[in-house]
A and B are shown apart, each in its own frame.
Chain A
Amino acid sequence: MTADLEEAPLKGNDGRPVAEGDTRPLAIEVRGLVKRFNGTTAVDGVDLRVPEGAIYGILGPNGAGKTTTLRMILGIIDPDSGYRRVLGSERPHDVSHAIGYLPEERGLYPAMKAFEAIGFLGALRGVPLAKGRQRARELLEEHGLGHLADRQIRQMSKGQAQQVQVLGTLVHEPRLVIFDEPFSGLDAINQGRLEQMIRGLAAKGTTVIFSTHVIAHAERLCDEVAIIAGGRVPFAGPVDEARDRIRPQVRLETREREGPWRAALPPDTRQEGRFWLFSLPESGVEPLLRALIEGDAGILSLSIERAGLHDAFVAIAGAAAAKALDASDEEAL
């Protein structure tokens, strides 16, 4: 299954190269992952390359195939076809002691106390139970949750239990941390804390990969993203590269509303109040400026804005996927 893929150039589903030129070793490399459930293709040829130490986002609406992709990466389920290598191993369970995982559906034993739960999660990753429990108490103290250490999970709020589980993914000092929708269920303050923690992990060289349907999180945190929709990955690479997929937007304000200069505006121009909005022409802004000045349009202001990740998502994944993404966001709220 792997031989014919070894030499194949890395490409996204749209045929573009995927994160080429990055010389960092890869924490995760998957090619052509396919998974079908009862005749429905959930993941359809996904390619991903996650460099070590990166913060990597998998961005897509609910049902896009994010969780299934992560489960295949973790070895929870096997792909129907394709190639995966995680921390240098094609058998994810062989390196599970170096991986931390927070599933989308959070789960802890309700009767366990917080320090026991974290210790148990560490034991599953090869940390001796006593040592894991001791480390659990330290972790809880360090994160201002020391008062929860001896409280049973069933006695905690959903958010508190989630924070305990997040710490449980870190107790064994993993090299790779995978979070599935880590921000859902957290209030704004704890979302901010989690963002800070993710940055801290990456600063220490830990690779962090998370899935989300909230573009803002990916935009703020990620070095690279994979945009996933309908089980396919039309884009995977640096966030800047995604933004560059669509041309910068020009925002022009004129004193005059009509005049021969209007002919110089690109065909995709739309009007919003006193502003004209359009994509930056391939010829640049200079010819346009010249036409505006010569046509006496009366330029009041002109700004060139780089596209946001949301615009990039719309351009890459399509309007339908963007609408589903927005709907996912609203569902989460």
Chain B
Amino acid sequence: MDRAMTEPVKGGRLSLLAAALVVARRDFMAVLWSRSFIFFLIGPLFPLVVGALAGSVTGHVDNTVSEVPRLGVMMARADREAVINADDAIGPKLAGTLPDIFEVTPPKPGQPTTPAATLRRELAAGRNAGAILSGTLDHPVLTGPRDRIAEWQGSVSLLVAHARTADANLLPPVKLSVTAAAPPRAETGRGRALTAQAGQTLLFLLMMLLAGMVLSNLVEEKGNKIIEVLAAAIPMDAVFLGKLFAMLAVSLVGIAVWGAAGGVMHLASGQSIDFLTTPAVGWPVFTVLGIAYFAMGYLLLGSVFLTIGSMASTVREVQTLNMPVTMAQILVFFFASYGMAREGSPVEWAAMIFPFSSPFAMLGRAALHEALWPHLAALGWQALCVLIFVRAGAHIFRRRVMQSGGAQGAVKKKRGIFRKG
């Protein structure tokens, strides 16, 4: 296999970051071009699609099968017609406020004629009667269950008032002028707290969905025996960092796809996206911080997961690890939420300082407080923790996994984290 080089191709020393990027690029492309990545992308979309479809079907069923309770009118003919005319006149202007009305069936001879008896008779006949309006226009009586008549009292009073006067100017027409942007919601403490909670929850869901992937990340290398090639060429820190970068990039691709799909579905539903109070730092900064805290949270958790996963020798072991890892994530999330609800307390400070809860706590803080410098400090602290965890993880991996070869390697293969060493 002798050869003659046509052109010298000399290697060059790689920095830690450059070496990490070589690994990250390989991993990222390998995931991106794998068939399973399609399933990874569409997996989280299933609940959204199913939810949308189910909502649509339920709405349809509601509209066709399940009737809203209606108001039965049991008055003298003139009054009854006046009420019906009034309903026609003001009903459209008070969309959803006035109950639908219907004329009750006249009682047969011998049947009781009281409003209560009429209500029971209408219900027995299968008509969805919520209450009965009887009496006269001067002395109307509303008969029905307590909650129902309390709810309808005002609107029925308005209806009867219009029936009495037949005054077209009782509800004068209001000219409507539509604007493109809705005015901002009141930036109350409660509203911002809800925004903080929503941000934390979204961050938690994404982390829980995505960080677990890192667990199995080194199993492939161990299975393919390529880990030794990597370890000989570049520092193990770079291998760990590269794998984390790759999985972070994969996660961001997923988030971009899911975010876009979710946004399209939300807009297609015709609803406004202004359902949360503007966070204290404003939406653009909040979004940037959200991405930054997701990245840091992912790298922090990922560095630990990568180390734990690297100790596993089979995919089955990794799967077994998923449950305790998920529980740990939930605990961290609750810790951060608990801290946010106790502003200024030692618990909040602990949640902001403890590396794993810090991204959640700080994102919550971004919704509640305007100051930006704490976020710079927090991101710096989290980045430092990432480096420490990566170094520690690489060190443990080298000590515990890259131990021996040859005959001793056979011993190593049997030594998973659940097996006796």
Binding site for B on A (CB under 8 A): 37-38, 42, 62-64, 66-68, 71, 74-78, 93-99, 101, 103-111, 120-127, 129, 131-132, 135, 138-139, 142-143, 163, 166, 171-174, 180, 190, 193-194, 196-197, 199-200
Residues of A within 8 A of B26 (CB): 109, 120
Which chain B residue lies CB-closest to A139?
B3
> Are B3 and A74 touching (Cβ within 8 A)?
no
- Determine how close the nearest CB of chain A comes to the CB of B244; give it in whole angstroms: 17
Please measure, in the bound complex, the distance between the C-alpha atom of A166 and the C-alpha atom of B13, giving whole angstroms: 21
> Among the listed B10, B229, B405, B406, which residue makes an inter-chain contact with A124, where contact means beta carbons less than 8 Å apart?
B229
Residues of B within 8 A of A120 (CB): 22, 26
Supposing A42-B404, A123-B22, A142-B4 touch, asked if A135 and B9 sit within 8 A by C-beta, the answer is yes
- Pick the interface stretch among B111-119, B190-198, B232-240: B232-240
> Are B234 and A76 touching (Cβ within 8 A)?
no
Please measure, in the bound complex, the distance between the C-alpha atom of A286 and the C-alpha atom of B320, giving whole angstroms: 77
Residues of B within 8 A of A74 (CB): 232
Please measure, in the bound complex, the distance between the C-alpha atom of A113 and the C-alpha atom of B19, giving whole angstroms: 21
Does B2 have its Cβ within 8 Å of any Cβ on chain A? yes
Please measure, in the bound complex, the distance between the C-alpha atom of A93 and the C-alpha atom of B232, giving whole angstroms: 8
- Pick the interface stretch among B65-73, B170-178, B220-228: B220-228
Please measure, in the bound complex, the distance between the C-alpha atom of A61 and the C-alpha atom of B407, giving whole angstroms: 10
Does B8 have its Cβ within 8 Å of any Cβ on chain A? yes
> Are A171 and B405 touching (Cβ within 8 A)?
no
Which chain B residue lies CB-closest to A174?
B11
> Among the listed B4, B11, B34, which residue makes an inter-chain contact with A97, where contact means beta carbons less than 8 Å apart?
B11
Which chain A residue lies CB-closest to B222?
A107
> Are A77 and B398 touching (Cβ within 8 A)?
yes
Tally of A-B Cβ pairs under 8 angstroms: 146
> Are B9 and A68 touching (Cβ within 8 A)?
no
Please measure, in the bound complex, the distance between the C-alpha atom of A62 and the C-alpha atom of B404, giving whole angstroms: 12
Supposing A109-B26, A109-B224, A173-B5 touch, asked if A96 and B406 sit within 8 A by C-beta, the answer is no
Please measure, in the bound complex, the distance between the C-alpha atom of A244 and the C-alpha atom of B279, giving whole angstroms: 84
Residues of B within 8 A of A180 (CB): 405
Supposing A109-B226, A124-B19, A124-B22 touch, asked if A104 and B406 sit within 8 A by C-beta, the answer is yes
> Are B3 and A197 touching (Cβ within 8 A)?
yes
Residues of B within 8 A of A124 (CB): 14, 19, 22, 229-230, 233-234
Please measure, in the bound complex, the distance between the C-alpha atom of A101 and the C-alpha atom of B14, giving whole angstroms: 17
Which chain B residue lies CB-closest to A131?
B9
Does B408 have its Cβ within 8 Å of any Cβ on chain A? yes
Residues of A within 8 A of B234 (CB): 93, 96, 124
Binding site for A on B (CB under 8 A): 1-14, 19, 22, 25-26, 30, 34, 221, 224-235, 398, 402-409, 421
Please measure, in the bound complex, the distance between the C-alpha atom of A125 and the C-alpha atom of B19, giving whole angstroms: 9
- Tell which of A101, A105, A109, A163 has the most Cβ of chain B within 10 Å: A105
Residues of A within 8 A of B11 (CB): 97-98, 122, 125-127, 172-174
Residues of B within 8 A of A135 (CB): 7, 9
- Tell which of A93, A94, A129, A197 has the most Cβ of chain B within 10 Å: A93
> Among the listed B2, B229, B408, which residue makes an inter-chain contact with A107, where contact means beta carbons less than 8 Å apart?
B229
Residues of A within 8 A of B13 (CB): 94-97, 126
- Determine how close the nearest CB of chain B comes to the CB of A133; give it in whole angstroms: 11
Residues of A within 8 A of B408 (CB): 37, 42, 63, 68
- Determine how close the nearest CB of chain A comes to the CB of B227; give it in whole angstroms: 7
- Determine how close the nearest CB of chain B comes to the CB of A167; give it in whole angstroms: 8
- Determine how close the nearest CB of chain B comes to the CB of A240; give it in whole angstroms: 25
Residues of A within 8 A of B226 (CB): 107-109
> Are A63 and B407 touching (Cβ within 8 A)?
yes
Supposing A38-B421, A108-B224, A124-B19 touch, asked if A96 and B405 sit within 8 A by C-beta, the answer is no
Please measure, in the bound complex, the distance between the C-alpha atom of A62 and the C-alpha atom of B410, giving whole angstroms: 11
Residues of A within 8 A of B3 (CB): 139, 142-143, 197, 200
- Determine how close the nearest CB of chain A comes to the CB of B391; give it in whole angstroms: 14
Please measure, in the bound complex, the distance between the C-alpha atom of A127 and the C-alpha atom of B7, giving whole angstroms: 13
> Are B5 and A101 touching (Cβ within 8 A)?
no
Residues of B within 8 A of A75 (CB): 232
- Determine how close the nearest CB of chain A comes to the CB of B213; give it in whole angstroms: 17
> Are B1 and A163 touching (Cβ within 8 A)?
yes
Residues of B within 8 A of A131 (CB): 9
Residues of B within 8 A of A96 (CB): 13, 232-234
> Are A37 and B404 touching (Cβ within 8 A)?
yes
Please measure, in the bound complex, the distance between the C-alpha atom of A107 and the C-alpha atom of B227, giving whole angstroms: 8
Please measure, in the bound complex, the distance between the C-alpha atom of A125 and the C-alpha atom of B5, giving whole angstroms: 18
Q: List 20 A-B contacts (CB under 8 A).
A: A67-B404, A68-B408, A71-B232, A77-B398, A93-B235, A97-B10, A97-B11, A97-B12, A97-B13, A103-B229, A104-B405, A106-B225, A107-B226, A108-B224, A120-B22, A125-B233, A127-B9, A171-B9, A197-B1, A200-B1
- Determine how close the nearest CB of chain B comes to the CB of A63; give it in whole angstroms: 3
Residues of B within 8 A of A97 (CB): 10-14
Please measure, in the bound complex, the distance between the C-alpha atom of A122 and the C-alpha atom of B409, giving whole angstroms: 27
> Are A132 and B406 touching (Cβ within 8 A)?
no
- Determine how close the nearest CB of chain B comes to the CB of A315; give it in whole angstroms: 24
Residues of B within 8 A of A171 (CB): 9
> Are B228 and A103 touching (Cβ within 8 A)?
yes
